[in-house]
Structure 1
Amino acid sequence: MTRLLLALDEQWPTRPDCPWVLLGPDGQPVSEGHSEPRHWPAAAECEVVLTGAQCLWLEVLLPRAARRDLPRLLAYALEDRLLKDPDTQHLTLTHRRPADEADKDLAGVLVIARERLRNLVAQLTAIGRSPRRVMAEVQTAPAGGDSWQLSLGPAGAILRCDAHGGLALDTDILSPLVAGQAAAARAANRAPAGLELHAAPGLPLPDLPALEADSGLPTRSGAPYQWWQGASGKAANLLNGDFAPRSSTSRLAAIGKPLALAGAALGIWLAATVGEVLWLKHSLSGIGERIERVYRSSFPNAPAVAPAAQMRQQLNLERARHGLLRDDDALALLARATEALGNDAAGSVAALRYEEGRLDLTLSGQGAARAEAVVGLLASRGVLADLRRDGATLHLLLRPETLQ
């Protein structure tokens, strides 16, 4: 199963282009790039990493209590640490660990504005890229060891002091910010062994001697920073609570219903289904009559045999008279297939054949590997396509009657 990972900064979707990477079933990158949504490759699933300071990762002291009390306790604990009302923020618990006080825990929580998360999910869903997971770069950036890890990416810098927290820093004033964090750590007797820098490919490293002099920490460069490497199953998913996908919410809501209600629920469902079928049958009949009336008023001298197909035929004739493409022309079908294949279209089509209104594409390479995802993407855009295997050769078939 392929996964498309998107790195969205605080300017998205106002500035629609973003870095992306396509991961294969083995979790390794198949392709990567930086482009607008119309050039993103097809994939079975979509996941998002929110870069920079869009999310705040805090650790708060909480009394030990039942899980159902966590939202109330978190909102109370964060009230004096947030600039805005906690009710306007979406909270995601990342971890709990024992505190020095015996009856309390330290809880990690990711904070993001509800409106920002709601808009992101709505925009991605509207373009057919509904996200399965949304993660925060402050958590996915590398961490670990006795040294602090400083990762430099296109959207800014992420400082990971340990595995339980992360902080987004402005690269324009990076040195004084790191120096301030180091001074605070020394004052709390938690100074690290050093500072390790990771820069994304193509980004220059800052002045390491100057950064070491300002922070007082031994500084060295580490492995390149790949923003997508930390987006594993261990990172917290911000799509929880009110933002959980409907399918997950429905399954959770169904668990634990009393068995005595099952029969009543089944009876209600059957009654509703029968009523819906009758209503749809009536609606379909009405639609057919309305189509026939529109056709007779538009073409009064032509017999109405199959009005929808006849109107479509007339539309294609008018398109041809005005020099426009018919929907069964080879170029029209090829444009839809190319759009679905995305950046890999040029290397994915080994041969093509067009005969009697049917386009037959012989797929190879990445196109063949992602054939099922391409068919699904075409379906989400109103196009039905068929796959046919001829020995080791895979064909993608588009027919004029499948276009809406």
Structure 2
Amino acid sequence: MRPSSAHRPTLHVLIDEHWPANAEADWVLTETDSTLRAHGCSTPDRWPGDATLVVVLGASQSSWHRVTLPKGKAATDPRLIAYALEDVLLDAPQAQHITLIQRHDAETGSQADLIVTARDRLRTVLTALRTAGHEPRHLYTELQSDVTTADGRQELQLCLRPGLAVLHPIEAGPVALPDDIDQLMPFVDDALRTRRRDEMDFPRLRLHADPGCEAEVTRIEAVLGSATLQACERYAWWRTDAAADLLHGEFSVGAAGASLARSLRLPLALAASALLALAGIMFADILRMRSAIDALDADIASRFAAALPGTPRVMPEAQLHRRLEDLRRRAGAAGDADLLPLLGRLAEARDDLAPTASVTALDFGAGRLSVAFAGATAEELDRLRTALAPAIELTQAQGDDR
């Protein structure tokens, strides 16, 4: 018996910018109480099954922006938000999927923190996951991985994993950086200087690192020293409890099916209309044919009653044929079982089936004609019997051994 979704473990998968070209992805399996059960790196066909899938999109695939919007209902207008982002985006806002994180009301307007992700990238990821048989319940960005301290205080934090670093300043949103220390440290120094200028306390940096980043951690410790650098903790990129779900709007759970249903609505409506019209035409034809059959049946019944008054209609065709023969005899006309009509049938059949045969004897009585043939082969005689039976009986003339 499958466990309910509330009691199923959660599979967190980290999708970097090279996926699905490089199909392997880091994953972590946690229990319902967030206890770590297992972790690994593998292709989708080897991910643990029977678990709720949560995808974490690598930080380099999204960007964090803070924009100022006017107060009032206009601040919620997607078109206005897209317009506010035009100066900071390389591509048109229409090509981006914008996720609202939070708002900060100010005297001059409303400041909004936004996460921007390319629509094409989201489509690529979701299509590849569904092709592999995986449907994500949630999709978050690594920029929002939960790295707050145990007591909930916000601090200047740096997260390291192989190939990527995420710097979390206090004054601005997180930013994805290369894990190369020479390129990374200027950004860290600038964040520390900004923090030192704004606060009287000596700023410190909390470091979160993947176990595979030991060399980078050693260099950072050597550069910053223990006075600035706090104890290094393991980077838990899968902790996204406070993150905003990117699966909204056209990418919301079930939106693919709803979009397909909307796209098929008009063709299905046209097909249904065509089927209804066809069914109406067929029903009209059935009614018309039924009416014609009823009219024909009534005509047959009328003619039968006129020809055979008071006679029950059992086999109308045979009954009418016998009545016609009787009327012919009463009028002195030859019937089908009389001698002349039978001789006419015999002559036609002989000319067609046995033209060289000759009649040597005839006998007629009680509507039955017996004929003896000479000069006919056995095959010709069989064909004649088949064509003339049962009213005419054929025999081979004595002494004719063909």
Shared fold, TM over 0.5 = yes
Counterpart of 2:31 in structure 1: which amino acid? G
> Aligned partner of 2:66: which letter?
E
Q: CA RMSD in A?
A: 3.6
CA distance in 1 between partners of 2:193 and 2:227 (Å):
10
CA displacement, residues 17-50 of structure 1 (integer Å, 9 cap, x when unaligned): 0111122233322221111111111024211001
TM-score after normalising by structure 1 = 0.56
**Residue in 2 aligned with 1:196?**
206
Q: Does the CA contact (< 8 Å) of 2:196 and 2:203 recur in 1?
A: no
Counterpart residue identity of residue 126, structure 2: V
Per-residue deviation, 1:52: 3.0
2:114 maps to amino acid: V
Q: CA deviation at 1:76?
A: 1.3
Write out per-residue CA displacement over residues 209-255 of structure 1, whole angstroms, 9 at most, x where no aligned residue: 54327xx9822233211221x222x21111111111226996xx9xx
The answer to whether the 8 Å contact 1:182/1:191 transfers is no
Q: Distance in 1 between matches of 2:112 and 2:71?
A: 10
Q: Which moved more, 1:10-19 or 1:83-92?
A: 83-92
Q: 1:190 to 1:12 in 2, by over 3 A?
A: farther
Structure 1 residue 77, shift from structure 2 partner: 1.2
Offset at residue 10 of structure 1 (A): 0.3
Would you say 1:13 and 2:25 are equivalent positions? no
8 Å CA contact 1:153–1:227 kept in 2: the answer is: no
C-alpha offsets along residues 269-307 of structure 1, whole Å, 9 cap, x if unaligned? Answer: 9xx7xx89xx9xxxxxxxxxxxxxxxxxxxxxxxxxxxx
Of the three residues 162, 177, 187, the one matched with 1:154 is: 162
1:138 corresponds in structure 2 to 143
Aligned residue identity for 1:90: H
Give the Cα–Cα distance (whole angstroms) in 1 for the partners of residues 163 and 59 of structure 2.
6
- Please state whether the residue corresponding to 2:185 is helix, strand or coil: helix
1:207 corresponds to 2:219: yes
Whether the 8 Å CA contact 2:9–2:32 is kept in 1: the answer is yes
For the Cα contact (< 8 Å) 1:208–1:220, is it kept in 2? no
Q: Of the two structures, which has the highest relative contact order with CA contacts closer than 8 Å and spacing of 6 or more?
A: 1
CA deviation vs aligned residue, 1:292-344 (integer Å, no higher than 9, x gap): xxxxxxxxxxxxxxxxxxxxxxxxxxxxxxxxxxxxxxxxxxxxxxxxxxxxx
Aligned counterpart, 1:239: 247
Number of the residue aligned with 1:399: none
Cα distance in 2 for partners of 1:231, 1:146 equals 16
CA distance in 2, matches of 1:195, 1:242: 39
Q: Which runs of 5+ in 1 are unaligned?
A: 254-267, 280-404
**1:81 partnered with 2:88:** yes
Shift of 1:85: 1.4
* Corresponding pairs, count: 257
Aligned to 1:222: 232
Summarize deviations over 1:341-396 as a string: whole Å, max 9, x none.
xxxxxxxxxxxxxxxxxxxxxxxxxxxxxxxxxxxxxxxxxxxxxxxxxxxxxxxx
**Contact 1:193/1:217 (<8 A) preserved:** no
Q: Superposition pairs for residues 94-173 of structure 1, below 5 Å?
A: 94-99=101-106, 102-143=107-148, 145=153, 147-162=155-170, 165-172=173-180, 173=183
Tell me if structure 2 keeps the 8 A contact 1:148–1:192.
no
Bigger radius of gyration: 2
Provide TM-score, normalisation by structure 2.
0.56
Could you tell me how far apart the structure 2 residues matched to 1:133 and 1:189 are? 38
Whether the aligned pair in 2 keeps the contact of 1:6 and 1:49 (CA below 8 Å) is yes
Counterpart in the other structure of 1:175: 185
- CA gap of 1:211–1:104, structure 2 versus 1, over 3 A, is farther
